[in-house]
């Protein structure tokens, strides 16, 4: 069985799709926030790789085909933003201020925590792009000397936590304005947070889509400055 899986060119992509589909099934069936499809699929994939003693590189040979879809998927988020363009024009100052605040808060919190725990420069860079999409985060981590594979894991964990806790946190801090909710969720937890924003509402999802793009661009530009702080 192990040899069959290893020799299959599309083993990685098929395993990823099957695991995620099972996660979606559980989420729809049980309707519990903790049953996040991404979180479930990651657990299933790790379990199968461990049980059959399959190394990550072998899995990635097939799974990397899905990686190519990350960038075009992010670009497609511009569609709901276009549908809410008039709302954006009326509130562009507040929107931009919120996104900039979110990016600086994310980078600043990483800097502060890494300083408190005396982490190395490489470890600091690994955590720095935690709140942007995987494609952008991997590039930042690689360029400034972080551990790319760990960065991917951190980005995933950040997104899943944002997806699970976004509504609770917004209620706790009484964030009710739809534009503010969308920007806050996305600038903290990127695409997985945006998925939750779309569940909350159309305006929240559209503003979250905008925040993904601008937050990513700002992080790329500002990360070079923050990288020199440790």
pLDDT digits (tens, 9 = 90+) for 6-54: 666 688 888 999 999 998 899 888 877 778 888 888 889 999 989 888 8
Share the mean pLDDT of the chain.
Answer: 87
Taking only the tens place, the pLDDT of each residue in 68-83 is: 787 777 677 777 777 7
Degrees to nearest 5, angle at CA 208 with 37 and 35: 15
Could you tell me the CA-to-CA distances from 109 to 114, 128, 143 in Å, in that order? 8, 9, 21
Instruction: Say yes or no: 51 and 94 in one domain.
Output: no
Please list, in sequence order, all residues whose beta carbon lies within 8 angstroms of the beta carbon of residue 128, skipping any fewer than 6 positions away: 107, 110, 140, 141, 144, 146, 223, 226, 227
Residue ending a domain, among 38, 68, 98, is: 68
Instruction: Say yes or no: 108 and 40 in one domain.
Output: no
Please state the domain count of the chain. Answer: 2
Residue 180 reports pLDDT greater than 90? yes
Instruction: Say yes or no: 173 and 213 in one domain.
Output: yes
Which domain covers residue 16, as residue numbers? 2-68
Name the nearest CA neighbour of 184 among 174, 175, 172. Answer: 175
Instruction: Say yes or no: 103 and 173 in one domain.
Output: yes
Instruction: Say yes or no: 180 and 124 in one domain.
Output: yes
């Amino acid at each position: 069985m192990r040899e069959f899986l290893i020799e299959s060119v599309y083993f990685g992509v098929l395993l990823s799709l099957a695991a995620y589909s099972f996660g979606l099934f559980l989420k729809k069936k049980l309707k519990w926030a903790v049953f996040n499809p991404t979180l479930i699929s990651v657990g299933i994939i790790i379990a199968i790789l461990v049980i059959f003693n399959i190394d990550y590189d072998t899995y990635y040979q097939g799974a990397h085909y899905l990686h190519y879809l990350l960038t075009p998927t992010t670009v497609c988020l511009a569609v709901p933003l276009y549908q809410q363009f008039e709302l954006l024009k009326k509130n562009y100052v507040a929107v931009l201020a919120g996104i900039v605040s979110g990016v600086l808060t994310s980078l600043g919190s990483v800097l502060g925590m890494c300083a408190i725990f005396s982490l190395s420069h490489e470890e600091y860079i690994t955590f720095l792009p935690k709140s942007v999409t995987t494609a952008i985060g991997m590039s930042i981590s690689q360029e400034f000397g972080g551990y790319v594979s760990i960065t991917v894991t951190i980005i995933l964990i950040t997104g899943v936590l944002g997806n699970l806790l976004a509504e609770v946190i917004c209620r706790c801090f009484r964030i009710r304005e739809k534009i503010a909710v969308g920007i806050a969720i996305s600038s903290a937890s990127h695409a997985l947070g945006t998925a939750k924003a779309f569940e909350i509402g159309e305006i929240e999802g559209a503003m979250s889509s905008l925040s993904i793009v601008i937050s990513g661009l700002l992080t790329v530009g500002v990360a070079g400055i923050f990288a020199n702080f440790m």
